[in-house]
Structure 1
């Protein structure tokens, strides 16, 4: 499971690599099978300290801390309750990813090795106000369909078994969005990998074990 220092390192990584900015976004991770840590409200990702996290019981939603948690806590709890396999969640608004979230452009996964692997499943969520119950419910409803949820006109939520894998998933997403946009600007026609080859890669290449979305996993 994860430590506060790992969460601090992740926040710094997101800022350093332009995957988050200012107070926009929040991160959480399980510290054991029943509890999670999430960033407090209004914190700067670049300056996280051990006092900037709030501990929750996942099943009951009990806040063990006196500090106010991120307003997006309900959607984090919803994901963990639906997906027992998830160990870390990142919510942010990287520039290129958010540009796509504010458009009708699709994000392609058939580009290169990492996109085939990390961007295999992407779901899109209609706009709801940040921190609203409607947004938390929409995110929770889609949590079993993908490990990347694009929130229209808002940003993205990514989740995985660990902070490092969630971080890699987010970075791959932002790179793909940047590549697609650059190709459009430059008049370069992208050559997509055929679906048959994509499926062969996912099932037979032994790059990494394929992370199939398990729709039956739920927190009890």
Structure 2
């Protein structure tokens, strides 16, 4: 695939997701597999509402000096690409309603039509402790994807990892997930209000 075209796709998706508060200023990661053993990923200095030529770096699976400039999540992305052939695009985001909902629930069961039809029930993964999460995440995230036969992973208090063959399909699922969690939280708040009155 044309790398300039890929960079434009990633930049466009990044801006949309930043506007929806899925990414922070320096928080999140987005990548695309360019060919066997190589992928584009944001640098650690990337600002997600303005991804440009200097904000993306192409890495080989075999580590070299460029890895020092890449996102802290590069190891996780590389391991997903190397273990899951269907992964062409990967995203790590922290959508606020999904992340907040994950703090007090074990499963997301959407009550809205699109969430129910597109996503169904999604288990929330508990990383247990955060102290050594980045050491474990490199292997636990791809393992979760493979054993659960899913392409979306909600990690309690941390965020959401997703991959897909199609960047638009990945973005669509993340948007539906966030809207479903927002509706669930509004429904919960309304139930509490009704009980108090």
**Counterpart position of 2:73:** 72
Q: Secondary structure at the match of 1:23?
A: coil
Unaligned runs of 5+ in 2: 193-197
Shift of 1:124: 1.4
Say whether residues 1:21 and 2:27 are aligned partners.
no
> What are the equivalent positions in structure 2 for 1:45-64 lying under 5 Å apart?
45-58=48-61, 61-63=62-64
Relative to the length of structure 2, the TM-score reads 0.83
User: What's the secondary structure of 2:63's corresponding residue?
Assistant: coil
Cα contact 1:122–1:148 (8 A) shared by 2: no
Describe the superposition over 1:175-209 as per-residue Cα deviations: whole angstroms up to 9, x where unpaired. 01001011111129xxxxxxxxxxxxxxxxxxxxx
Separation of aligned partners in 2, 1:46 and 1:74: 23
* TM-score of the superposed pair, with normalisation by structure 1: 0.75
Change (3 A) 1:115 1:68: farther
Cα distance in structure 2, aligned partners of 1:104 and 1:115: 17
SS at match of 2:54: coil
Matched, 1:151 2:155: yes
Q: How many residues align?
A: 186
Output one character per residue of 1:149-181: Cα deviation in whole Å (capped at 9) or x when no partner.
112211111111121111111111100100101
Q: What residue in structure 2 maps to residue 135 of structure 1?
A: 137
Q: Is the 8 A contact 1:160 1:166 kept in 2?
A: yes
Residues 67 and 135 (structure 1), Cα distance of their counterparts in 2 relative to 1, 3 Å cut: closer
Indicate whether 1:177 and 2:177 are aligned. no
Offset from partner CA, 1:43-94 (integer Å, 9 cap, x none):
2100111111121224xx3347476101111111111122101111110111
| Structure 2 equivalent of residue 165 of structure 1 | 169
RMSD: 2.4
CA distance in 2, matches of 1:109, 1:77: 31
Higher normalized helix content (fraction of residues): 2
Q: Where in structure 1 are there 5+ consecutive unaligned residues?
A: 189-220
- Once the 2 structures are TM-superposed, how far is the Cα of residue 42 of structure 1 from its aligned partner? 3.0
